[in-house]
Chain A
Amino acid sequence: GENVEQHPSTLSVQEGDSAVIKCTYSDSASNYFPWYKQELGKRPQLIIDIRSNVGEKKDQRIAVTLNKTAKHFSLHITETQPEDSAVYFCAASFDQGGSEKLVFGKGMKLTVNP
């Protein structure tokens, strides 16, 4: 069935360190993998996404990698800042009978200590 696993569930780093969040997905047909950032009490906001025809994508301090063979994808944040503190969700698209939807991981709470 549709499943996205995300780990770790929490991560605490010092300002300036890097943070890595890893996700796995179950459906080999998934072809779209977005990452969302959710601050406390606010909406999830798209920060970066990758499609299955690309192995890596970078946007300033954020990069995402995709390994389709292993069904893994990861988010890398470099030079972390206190404002990066939030919950980060990965997601994968699932197409079931013509209905494409996103299935989300359980999230990872990142704390960046100044």
Chain B
Amino acid sequence: NAGVMQNPRHLVRRRGQEARLRCSPMKGHSHVYWYRQLPEEGLKFMVYLQKENIIDESGMPKERFSAEFPKEGPSILRIQQVVRGDSAAYFCASSPVGGGYTFGSGTRLTVV
């Protein structure tokens, strides 16, 4: 089992560009969560998805951010028109029904 796979590991974008972060959950896991971690800070919940459904997006900024988990393929976190304040580590986690989280290695986004 390859675990939770995130790519890319590092992503550099200029202000105004789009960032796409991908997450493939562990085999057998049907729940995907995205968290953002700023330097020296904790993990902030962004969104919880199941296949083709957004279950809870209460932590997502109202503009520029979107997430999906299609029937086929990885979950995508999309950030449009990135700004410097979007620079952070973005972690994806997956879980089975009623189970604990397994985190991916994260994508470190730097906006220049």
Contacts and interface: CB of A to CB of B under 8 A. Distances in A.
Interface residues of A, number: 22
Interface in A45-96: 45-46, 49, 89, 96
Contacts of A46: 100-102
Interface in B45-88: 45, 48, 55-56, 58
A49 B98 CA distance: 13
Interface in B24-38: 33, 35
> A36, A97, A101 — which one has the most chain B CB atoms within 10 A of its CB?
A101
A105 to B, nearest CB: 6
A43 B100 CA distance: 15
A104 interface: yes
Contacts of A28: none
Contact of A44 (B45, B56, B91): B91
A6 B41 CA distance: 12
B112 interface: no
Given A43-B91, A101-B33, A107 B41 contact: yes
Contacts of B103: 36, 43-45
A43 B105 contact: yes
Interface string A1-30: 000001000000000000000000000000
Contacts of B55: 98-99
A102 B106 contact: no
B100 A89 contact: no
A99 B102 contact: no
Contacts of A98: 55
B58 to A, nearest CB: 8
Interface of B: 33, 35, 41-45, 48, 55-56, 58, 91, 100-106
Interface of A: 6, 32, 34, 36, 42-46, 49, 89, 96-99, 101-107
13 contacts: A32-B100, A42-B105, A43-B91, A43-B104, A43-B106, A45-B103, A46-B100, A99-B56, A102-B33, A103-B45, A104-B35, A104-B43, A104-B45
